[in-house]
Structure 1
Amino acid sequence: MSEKGPASYFPSIEKTYGLPVQHWLDIAADQLASGSTHMQVVESLKTEHGLGHGHANAVVAYAKSKRAG
């Protein structure tokens, strides 16, 4: 069974950027924990780390869901 939602992007994220998805999740979680909004973290991943918008959004959405859960 394939992943649904944000996690469905993870194989592509790892292939595209050459780092484990946990690397990006940790960055997103740290920024969320320090009070950044969803879109602020998306912008940070895009501008500071070079992720595409869809990939950055998926990472942040997943990180947020794990924080809430």
Structure 2
Amino acid sequence: MTEAVKGPASYFPSIEKKYGRPIAEWQNKIRSSDLTKHKELVDWLKAEHEMGHGHANALVKYTLDEDAAG
């Protein structure tokens, strides 16, 4: 039996479906941005890509956590 995905990654299927881009592409956009703070990146995704708050927050959280883990 497969364990359910939890946390920010649980949003990934709906993000890919709604915005038509793979998660890796969104992560590349986040990483290549001049912005570095969580809220700035969330606000940027919402303003520039018309992403909902929950989706933007999940992507930023997951990406920044992944980068911090090395």
Q: Do they superpose with TM above 0.5?
A: yes
- 1:38 paired residue number: 38
Find the counterpart in structure 1 of residue 15 from structure 2. Answer: 13
Find the structure with the greater CA-based Rg.
2
> Which amino acid in structure 2 is aligned with residue 22 of structure 1?
A
Aligned residues: 67
CA contact (8 A) 2:35 2:41 kept: no
Partner Cα distance (1:15, 1:23) in 2: 13
Aligned to 2:29: 27
* Overall identity of the aligned pairs, in %: 48
2:61 aligned partner: 61
Gaps of 5+ in 2: none
Query: What is the distance in 2 between the residues matched to 1:29 and 1:7?
Result: 17
Whole-Å Cα distance in 2 between the matches of residues 9 and 58 of structure 1? 7
Deviations 1:10-69 (A, max 9, x none): 0000010111011111111223xx452100000010000111000000000000111111
Cα distance between partner residues in 1 of 2:6 and 2:54: 14
Q: Structure 1: which 5+ runs fail to align?
A: none
Structure-1 separation of matches of 2:25 and 2:55: 13
4+ long deviations beyond 6 Å = none
C-alpha RMSD over aligned residues: 1.1
